[in-house]
């Protein structure tokens, strides 16, 4: 009935999979980077631990979170997407993702639509754009990472 | 009896569709919708009377002043304040509470004293006191709750004591729906020489509230939660208390005389109203009060009680699916606010799904973060009613919740 | 060029009669009239979008939040603030000024320091500093005026000194019309390490005001004086200054986290916006800004300068009958405010007589009591223009003043 | 022209006369009662000095004021009207006058209209009612007297 009309956000295979089986949920001891963020408006919480390899690339990630499905899926998807990136890469990806999610001028949206396709599993989160209020649920992971990494520098 | 269809026809927004469904607006504890009479009052004012008040000898200014002060009289009568000068215009209940914290408490709460609150206070009746007590080296004490979210007064004599400067209590909790025994608490406070403040943000819009009968020293409430516009609220206080207080905001017309060195203060209520007031919205709040009185506050109360009883019954269906209701079960102890948790689906996801069906509920901590945490959740879903809601809408709500739970179970979890 | 008749048609109230005469509204320094676009914005909001902002996942709340934050962006762009988060909504300029006094000055002004003002400050930019300096055992210093009501900066280096914490100056005086050299004063303040505050209540509505170019730390202004509704005003401040300030009003959504013991603060701008904001009026102020920008602030400035020049010329007729103009004669140093005294007829009697002819002027001390007293009078009469006033209306005003003076001479005196 | 339509307030003989020739303007030294009031909204000021006779009735009045014509006329008229009254009489008259000037319910206005006729020269001030904003100009004298007399008690 009513929900027949719902956009397929909550039916997306990738999101479903990550919600049901969150990846990298173990807490890492003594990580190189550790960070968290909370969204005071909804009480969502996210925590990351990151270990780097010899060439300063992400080798291992721990992710734990509480909150809505979008926040959970985002944390799990991102925990995988970080693999092999330098911390600078992570910040760049964060910027890019936020830009894509928050594009509002028509010409920016066209660009965002295109860029979103090439984000691997992260693309699934692009659907959240149709629920603007929920975009911040998909962005909370990134503010955790941004703040954690920038305190290092 | 109350003709809900007639009332609904006065609210233009209720004719709106949301996501292809008729709007079912159940976020009234956050803010209520406005009848066309209130909207029209704004139009009338700006099209015919707009001028600054109190200072002009010209016709518009005189007319605007009369309308503005008439609105104050209406509100004063509405809460049975007696003297209209005891009603101070503010932006909202939050500003009213801060006004008391800055102008009364700063001068009257001393180191070692305490302020008594309940655990179900809205941030606006909590954070100002945290700041104040820290500054003054005073303490906050909380009256405990039982597990239905009802105040447990068994130990009250050791909580409100001779060192209590203020007891400040929400009349109806916006997070649980609990209605507190305000009159009794006021008497207890006064017996110990403490002042008593009522946060009436959720009660004044929904029931007969009589400040004389309660005998409270202060009462704070917001216009936008009682069919009035945003941007206007009230602080009621007893006249001698207001007279003993120093001003809060200064400047504009709140002075009697000003020299380059110093100023003296105008009489009540202007002493507390610095700068050009929110004239139009005060007048429109007066019209909202007219509208509410036309229906009758006792009728509104009765109607909402019936609707809430109906909803609580219906909610059993959700409970059978694992849903959990917060707040008292007994309809006599609560107002029209249904705050709940649903298994397997986070309130935000539920909110998004209900919104897809045109149903507006609030999800989150409802500005009562510590309370909601103490319930063991980070957020709840909350449906809150007003006199324009119907049993049919309650059916749509309950069906929607069940549908969303099923949908989510089949999918995400 | 600017089509005044077209503009006038947008203001429903200008079609009104007062005492049998077409309204000639010249009380714009007190508050301005509103175009139907602004009035309609209120109606649209309440009929279609009304919901509480920031907290809801439902459609109405989302739409209301977008509209509300868009309005902030518009205002930020209007004064060239850059980051919209540096624009804080308040009720009016008075609250903005008090916010700075409570949240910035309380923490930053120390015993023995001084705050520099001008003698032409509105009570709202005077009394808060009197209270603050008394509390802090600091001093107020005044930059002197010459006998045309223009600041005399000859001794400024001994007035603004290393112990100056804040220089707070009105951009355009509402009592004299004087426009002050804000940029120069700002540079002087900064050279001594003082913060600089501009009271833009009378300038922002009438001229291009660019906070970046001025480089001021704070600017306060009111929506109702710029075609917006009553009940909404703004405080602009530099971001790092705002970030360093503690909150003013607490409660509601201005928190990040709250426990029963303590709270932490939300980011800008919400840190300074406790409780449900004046959503509808903020949105309508955004529409007023659109309206002003459509006409163009430079065009408005030019038009009003021309009108004021015309009025000053015409006023010579009144001066020939003994009338006295206050404020600078030079049109480059003043805005569209004509403040004056008439021999033998008290401003209030003049105001009443002009009102009989449909002309609305303000009479009194214009919330600048010490200044008006220093002019040697207890009150002045003040006609203040906006872009919808015409030369024909100026003729009616001058004729009316002359008529009233004659009438009174033949009669009472 | 325009002012032809003006109500005859400023043309009233009594008011004209008192404005042109204010009575009792000399300041009394060491008076039994001394009082003042200001109207902050318009800067109007009023000062009274009163001397009483052996039977505590007003024997001599001094009145000085600054401000609008209505305030001036009111001060002068009242300075004469006090003669022979006890201080209690003055307070009663003050109450009565305020009630008359501020009557707003239709039935109260009918009564006020009647009572106003019997107030001697004070009746002239009743015309101010047609300019509600100016009523306080006519009442300032009374607030001076009220406050001065009540501080005695
Ligand atoms: C120069 C100036 N500053 C401040 C204010 C105060 O504005 P508001 O009354 O809107 O707070 C005014 C308006 O009266 C003004 O003219
Ligand atoms: C119980 C209670 N107190 C205070 C408030 C604060 O009201 P406002 O946001 O209008 O200041 C609210 C509204 O959210 C409330 O529900």
Mean of per-residue pLDDT scores for chain C:
96
- For the segment C184-188, the average pLDDT, to the nearest whole number, is 98
Question: For residue B309, what are its two tokens?
Answer: 């009883």
Say if CB B206 and CB B335 are below 8 A apart.
yes
> What is the spatial distance between Cα D118 and Cα C370, in angstroms, rounded to a whole number?
42
Q: How many Cα atoms occupy the beta-carbon half-sphere of B373 within 13 Å?
A: 14
Q: Could you report the per-residue pLDDT of C234-262, keeping only the tens digit for each?
A: 999 999 999 999 999 999 989 988 999 99
C-beta B235 within 6 A of ligand 2: no
- For the segment B46-61, the average pLDDT, to the nearest whole number, is 92
Q: Which of B30, B96, B126, B222 to mutate to test the pocket of ligand 2 (most atoms within 8 A of CB)?
A: B222
B4-30+296-410: CATH topology: 3.90.1150
Q: Does domain B38-294 have CATH number 3.30.70.270?
A: no
**pLDDT tier, B288 (very low <50, low <70, confident <90, very high otherwise):** very high
- For residue C267, what is the DSSP state? P
> What is the spatial distance between Cα D153 and Cα D150, in angstroms, rounded to a whole number?
5
Q: Which of B251, B258, B280 to mutate to test the pocket of ligand 1 (most atoms within 8 A of CB)?
A: B251
D chain contacts of residue B56, beta-carbon cutoff 8 Å: 133
Q: Could you report the per-residue pLDDT of D35-85, keeping only the tens digit for each?
A: 999 887 777 889 999 999 999 999 999 999 988 999 999 999 999 999 999
C144 part of contact set with chain B, CB < 8 Å? no
> What is the spatial distance between Cα B375 and Cα C185, in angstroms, rounded to a whole number?
56
Instruction: Specify the residue with its C-alpha closest to ligand 2, atom 12.
Output: B201
C-beta B55 within 6 A of ligand 1: no
B144 part of contact set with chain C, CB < 8 Å? no
C chain contacts of residue D16, beta-carbon cutoff 8 Å: 411-412
- 3-class SS string, C161-204: CCCEEEEEEECECCCCCEECCHHHHHHHHHHCCCEEEEECCCCC
A chain contacts of residue C52, beta-carbon cutoff 8 Å: none
Neighbours of chain D (3+ CB pairs under 8 A): B, C
The number of the ligand 1 atom at minimal distance from the alpha carbon of C233 is 10
Question: For residue C326, what are its two tokens?
Answer: 């206050």
Portion of chain D with pLDDT greater than 90, in percent: 63
pTM for the predicted model, two decimal places: 0.96
Cβ <8 Å between D19 and C413: yes
User: With touching defined as 3+ CB pairs under 8 A, do chains A and D touch?
Assistant: no
Q: Could you report the per-residue pLDDT of A79-138, keeping only the tens digit for each?
A: 999 999 999 999 999 999 999 998 888 899 999 989 988 889 999 999 898 888 889 899
Residue C142 CA to ligand 1 center (angstroms) comes to 19
Judged by its nearest atom, the ligand closest to the C-alpha of residue B55 is 1
B93 part of contact set with chain C, CB < 8 Å? yes
Q: Could you report the per-residue pLDDT of B193-216, keeping only the tens digit for each?
A: 999 999 999 999 999 999 999 999
Mean of per-residue pLDDT scores for chain A:
89
Known catalytic residues of C are: 367
Residue A61 CA to ligand 1 center (angstroms) comes to 56
> What is the spatial distance between Cα B164 and Cα B193, in angstroms, rounded to a whole number?
8
Residue D105: pLDDT over 90: no
Cβ <8 Å between A2 and B352: no
* Strand pairing class (B263-265; B359-360): unpaired
Judged by its nearest atom, the ligand closest to the C-alpha of residue B170 is 2
Question: For residue C167, what are its two tokens?
Answer: 């220089």
* The pLDDT of residue A153: 67
- Residue A12's domain is classified under what CATH number? 3.90.1010.10
Q: Could you report the per-residue pLDDT of A55-83, keeping only the tens digit for each?
A: 999 999 999 998 999 999 999 999 999 99
Residue A2: pLDDT over 70: no
Torsion, Cα of C31, D41, C369, C126 (10° steps): -60
D chain contacts of residue C364, beta-carbon cutoff 8 Å: 41-43
Known catalytic residues of B are: 367
Q: How many Cα atoms occupy the beta-carbon half-sphere of D73 within 13 Å?
A: 31
- How many domains does chain D contain in total? 1
Mutate to test the interface with B, among A69, A129, A131, A133 (most CBs of B within 10 A): A69
> What is the spatial distance between Cα D126 and Cα D116, in angstroms, rounded to a whole number?
7
**Nearest chain B residue to D136, by CA:** B57
Cβ <8 Å between D44 and C378: yes
Extents of the domains making up chain C: 4-30+296-410, 38-294
Residue B203 CA to ligand 2 center (angstroms) comes to 11
- Give ipTM to 2 decimals: 0.94
* The pLDDT of residue D1: 44
Residue B31 CA to ligand 2 center (angstroms) comes to 9
> What is the spatial distance between Cα A42 and Cα A68, in angstroms, rounded to a whole number?
9
Residue C262 CA to ligand 2 center (angstroms) comes to 19
Portion of chain B with pLDDT greater than 70, in percent: 100
SS3 B386: coil
Q: Could you report the per-residue pLDDT of B315-355, keeping only the tens digit for each?
A: 999 999 999 999 999 988 999 999 999 988 999 999 999 99
**pLDDT tier, A1 (very low <50, low <70, confident <90, very high otherwise):** very low
Judged by its nearest atom, the ligand closest to the C-alpha of residue C339 is 1
Domain residue limits at A38: 3-150
How far, in Å, are C98, C129, C133, D22 from residue C102 at the CA level?
Answer: 6, 10, 12, 49
């Amino acid at each position: 009935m009513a929900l027949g009309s719902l956009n397929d956000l909550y039916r997306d295979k990738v999101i479903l999979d990550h919600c049901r089986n969150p990846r990298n949920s173990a807490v890492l001891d003594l990580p190189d980077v550790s960070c968290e963020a909370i969204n005071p408006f909804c009480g969502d919480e996210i925590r990351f631990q990151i270990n780097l390899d010899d060439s300063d690339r992400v080798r291992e990630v721990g992710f734990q979170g509480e909150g809505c499905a979008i926040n959970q899926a985002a944390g799990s998807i991102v925990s995988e997407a970080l693999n092999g990136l330098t911390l600078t890469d992570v910040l760049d990806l964060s910027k890019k993702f936020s830009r894509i999610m928050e594009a509002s001028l028509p010409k920016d949206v066209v660009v965002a639509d295109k860029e979103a396709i090439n984000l691997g599993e992260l693309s699934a989160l692009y659907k959240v754009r149709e629920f603007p209020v929920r975009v911040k649920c998909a962005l909370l992971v990134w503010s955790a990472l941004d703040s954690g990494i920038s305190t290092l520098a | 009896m109350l003709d809900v269809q007639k009332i609904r026809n006065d609210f233009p927004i209720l004719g709106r569709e949301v996501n292809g469904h008729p709007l079912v607006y159940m976020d009234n504890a956050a803010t209520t919708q406005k009848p066309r009479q209130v909207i029209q009052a704004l139009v009338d004012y700006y099209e015919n009377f707009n001028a600054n008040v109190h200072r002009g000898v010209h016709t518009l200014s005189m007319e605007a002043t009369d309308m503005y002060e008439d609105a104050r009289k209406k509100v004063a009568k509405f809460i049975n304040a007696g003297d209209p000068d005891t009603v101070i215009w503010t932006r909202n209940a939050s500003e009213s509470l801060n006004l008391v914290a800055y102008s009364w408490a700063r001068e009257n709460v001393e180191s070692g004293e305490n302020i008594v609150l309940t655990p179900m206070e809205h941030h606006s009746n909590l954070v100002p006191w945290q700041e104040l007590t820290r500054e003054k080296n005073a303490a906050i004490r909380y009256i405990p709750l039982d597990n239905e979210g009802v105040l447990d007064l068994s130990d009250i004599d050791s909580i409100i004591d001779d060192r209590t400067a203020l007891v400040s209590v929400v009349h109806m909790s916006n997070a649980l729906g609990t209605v507190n025994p305000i009159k009794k608490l006021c008497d207890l406070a006064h017996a110990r020489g403490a002042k008593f403040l009522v946060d009436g943000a959720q009660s004044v819009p929904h029931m007969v509230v009589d400040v004389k009968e309660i005998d409270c020293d202060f009462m704070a409430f917001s216009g936008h939660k009682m069919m009035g516009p945003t941007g206007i609220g009230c602080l009621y206080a007893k006249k001698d208390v207001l007279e003993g207080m120093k001003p809060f905001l200064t400047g504009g017309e709140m002075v009697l005389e000003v020299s380059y060195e110093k100023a003296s203060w105008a009489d009540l209520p202007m002493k507390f109203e610095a700068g050009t007031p929110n004239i139009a919205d005060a007048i429109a709040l007066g019209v909202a009060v007219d509208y509410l009185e036309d229906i009758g506050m006792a009728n509104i109360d009765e109607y909402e009680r019936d609707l809430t009883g109906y909803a609580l019954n219906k909610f059993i269906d959700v409970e059978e699916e694992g849903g959990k209701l917060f707040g008292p079960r007994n309809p006599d102890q609560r107002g029209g606010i249904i705050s709940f948790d649903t298994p397997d689906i986070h309130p935000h996801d539920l909110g998004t799904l209900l919104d897809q069906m045109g149903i507006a509920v609030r999800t989150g901590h409802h500005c009562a973060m510590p309370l909601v945490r103490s319930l063991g959740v980070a957020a709840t879903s909350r449906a809150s009613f007003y006199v324009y809601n119907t049993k049919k809408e309650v059916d749509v709500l309950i069906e929607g919740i069940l549908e969303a739970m099923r949908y989510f179970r089949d999918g995400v979890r």
